[in-house]
Every structure is written in structure tokens, then in C-alpha cells.
Structure 1
Amino acid sequence: MSDITGVAASQSTQYEQETQRQSLDGNNGLGQDAFFKLLITQLQNQDPLNPMEDRQFISQMAEFSSLEKTEKLYTLLEDKLSSNQVIDNSNLIGREITANVEGIELKGIVEAVKSSNDKVLAVLDTGSEIEINNITQVKNVEA
């Protein structure tokens, strides 16, 4: 019986080490490669007298598939949100804005609104790009 206990402890220890290694690599979420590495390690080190059942294997694959689809959906939602923020702020085009950036007051006429690195920026006629969050005043341009 002690051999079986030793194998189970070894399997648990290897699983924990692999999980810790993934965390140390800075990967907060387990990707497809990490999942398959863990699965292979788990299968290689399973107790031959008590092997993993098909139901467990299928359950793990289903969970991974669900997680992968959720990540894709999250990415699509992020892209949609970014697009919506650009559209929502497009009313600034042609208007004069004042913004406070690191204690410096900048003014200019907005020529475009764009999304870059998860931030929405107003592109001014001066060539400056200002984060929408830094705008302190919006005025109509007098003709």
C-alpha cells in the first residue's frame, strides 16, 4: 500500500510543481500548451492500479474547451468596447478641447478619435494625442 501512496504523492507533487512553474513564468492563465503538458504529466504519473477514468479525462477536456471559448468571447467583447468608445467620442471631432496632461494644459482642435493600447485618444490639429480622460473642457469652434 505504501507504493501506491508514494505514487499518488509523487503525482500530486509534480502537478503542483508544474502549476507553480506556470505561475512563475508570469502566465496568470493556463494556455493550451500548459494544459496539455499538465495532462500528459498527469497521465504519465497516474497510479497504474487506479488509472484516470474516461469521465475525468472528458471532463477536463470539456472544461478546457469552455475556458478557451470564454477567452475568445472576452477578447471579442474588449474589441467591441474599444470600438464603441471611439464612436461615443467621435462627437469631439471639429471641437476645441483643453486637456491637462501631467500638469500641462494643452489646447487644440480634435481631428480624429482613435483607440490605441486599450486607451481612447483624441488626435489634435497640433499633432498631439490626448487621452479622452484628460480632457477638461470642450468648446465649439467659432467660424
Structure 2
Amino acid sequence: MTTNVIDGSLWMANAVQPERKTGNQILGKDDFLKILLAQLENQDPLNPMEDKDFIAQMASFSSLEQMMNIANLMQQWMQVSSRDALLRYSEWIGKTVHWQEGDATMSAVVKSVTQKDGNIVLGLDNGATIAADAVMTVEQHE
């Protein structure tokens, strides 16, 4: 009589992965702790996890937590930096700016400063808008 062997790796390769509720494909520190806790709860009592393995996993968790803290701080810094740029350019309101358009040098008085898609945009008295990066000179409006 012949028997067919079922290869479990084929099933696992085709298994549907459950969708993460966070919408994020990166494991976070909560996920890491859940995995560690599951390992501790389900370990073989006759062959428990060795101390060095546990210490290595805790060190990995500590590193993960520190990297996440750094990422959060960088995000906060970017937000503050963005607002800082807006405040710096607001000093240009009421001043004349000069920029190059083709071969001509243009000038207008800045009436507003806004931020769009991470870029500073100047609203001018002639109704036009230009990127702050395009400005060559700024002078006090007379």
C-alpha cells in the first residue's frame, strides 16, 4: 500500500497571511513583547530557554525600543524644523524680493508666507506666488 506524504512547507508557503490591524508591516515593541511572552509561556519545561538566549532577546528589545524613540524624536524635530522655516520666512512679509525668470529679474513685495508640501511659498503683491528658494535678494520695501 502506498501512502502520500504531505509536505507541510508547501502549505505554509501558500498560507494566507493575516492582515495586520495597524496597517504597518513593521513589528513594533508591543509585537516583540507578545512574541517573547508566547515563547516563555510555550517553552518546553524539560528544555527551557537558556539565560543567554533570553538576555539576547531582551537586548534586541531594548535596541528596538531605542530605535523607535529615536525615530519619534526625529519626526518631532522635522515638525519643529518645518515650523521654524515658516517663522523665519515670515520676516520677509512687507519686503521686496527679487528672483530670476528666464533672462529677466523680477521683483515684488511679499504679502504672505505659506507652506505647501514641505516647501515655503511666498504670496506676492502682484498676485503671483513663488518658491522661497527662487529668491535671489531681499530688501526693505520703501
- TM-score of the pair, normalised by structure 1: 0.57
Partner of residue 77, structure 2: 77
Partner of residue 33, structure 1: 25
The runs of 5 or more residues in structure 1 that have no matched partner are 1-31
Partner of residue 99, structure 2: 99
Residue 81 of structure 1 and its aligned partner are, at CA, apart by 1.1
Residue 56 of structure 1 and its aligned partner are, at CA, apart by 2.0
Larger helix fraction of residues: 1
Partner of residue 57, structure 1: 57
Partner of residue 131, structure 1: 131
Greater mean deviation of Cα atoms: 52-61 or 79-88 = 52-61
2:58 and 2:67 map into 1 onto residues whose CA distance is 14
Pair 1:104–1:68, CA change in 2 (3 A): farther
Partner of residue 110, structure 1: 110
Over aligned residues, Cα RMSD in angstroms? Answer: 3.2
Q: Taking every aligned residue pair, what percent have the same amino acid on both sides?
A: 14
2:74 and 2:102 map into 1 onto residues whose CA distance is 32
Which of 1 and 2 has greater Rg? Answer: 2
The runs of 5 or more residues in structure 2 that have no matched partner are 1-23
Give 3-state SS (helix, strand or coil) of 1:77's partner.
helix
Residue 50 of structure 1 and its aligned partner are, at CA, apart by 9.7
Partner of residue 88, structure 1: 88
Pair 1:129–1:64, CA change in 2 (3 A): farther
- TM-score of the pair, normalised by structure 2: 0.57
